[in-house]
Amino acid sequence: SKNIVVAIDGYSSCGKSTLAKALAKKLHFIYVDSGAMYRAVTLYFLRNNVDINNTDEVAEALKNIHLNFHSRDYQTHITLNDEEVSDEIRLMPVSTMVSPVSAIREVRKEMVAQQQRMGKSKNIVMDGRDIGTTVFPNAQVKLFMTADPKVRAERRYKELQSTNPDVTLEEIFENIAHRDYSDTTRKESPLMRAADAIILDNTNITPEEQLAFALAKVEPFL
């Protein structure tokens, strides 16, 4: 029988990865954090001073980038050319640059191709911005997540306390608002709800309730 794909898209920091991980764990599906891929590409661009307006430089850089997930435990473990970068890609320099980098057509083309290979024959939960619209338009289940931006900033602030204690709530709020704006207004596969995606606003609902909601949507396909 055909493999099952669950596509979870939505705004920045609205709990997509929390839900995607919980769902994948419960169902024994593979979890892929597509945002981590764009973040790792961004880290490479920053480290190597790649000029994002220079198409040749971008193409050359993409050839030299090898990403791998090693998903021991349904967390995001990603390597960039065999170096573990899972923590570094969450820091502010990458968060600030990731939206302009992920707006580049060549970058998206390469990432989408890799993502499609990952979901070709396996049961998978993938979260991102264009999973239900571009990467897997035929996904059996599509969720589109949203939440109040203030609530999202507070959640992300708490989450970053251990790894990134210097960051302020204001900085996070600005970053989220800015990424929402660039992600929804960019030319190349902007963030938008696929016509057949189910909206999940989690401003006032718990992770457990979100998991139950999502499981109920997947169950008919199991």
Residues annotated as binding site for ATP?
A: 10-18
Q: Closest distance between ligand C5P and the C-beta of residue 109, in Å?
A: 12
Q: Closest distance between ligand C5P and the C-beta of residue 127, in Å?
A: 7
Burial 142-174 (b: 16+ CB within 10 A, else e): bbbbbbebeebbebbbeebeeebeebeeebbbe
Closest to ligand C5P by CB, 169 or 192 = 192
Burial 130-140 (b: 16+ CB within 10 A, else e): bbbbbbbeebb
Q: Closest distance between ligand C5P and the C-beta of residue 38, in Å?
A: 4
Closest to ligand C5P by CB, 110 or 183 = 183
Closest to ligand C5P by CB, 142 or 179 = 179
Q: How far apart are CA 127 and CA 28, in angstroms?
A: 16
Binding residues: 10-18
Closest to ligand C5P by CB, 203 or 219 = 203
Residues that bind ligand C5P (CB under 6 A): 12, 34-35, 38-39, 98-99, 102, 128-131, 179, 183
Q: Closest distance between ligand C5P and the C-beta of residue 130, in Å?
A: 5
| Beta-strand pair 83-84/78-80 | antiparallel
Closest to ligand C5P by CB, 18 or 140 = 18
- Identify the CA nearest to 142 among candidates 8, 17, 20: 8
Q: Closest distance between ligand C5P and the C-beta of residue 141, in Å?
A: 16
- Cα 20 to chain centroid distance, Å, stands at 10
Residues with Cβ < 8 Å from 163, sequence gap 6 or more? 87, 90
- Identify the CA nearest to 215 among candidates 19, 83, 53, 45: 19
Residue at 56: amino acid letter: D
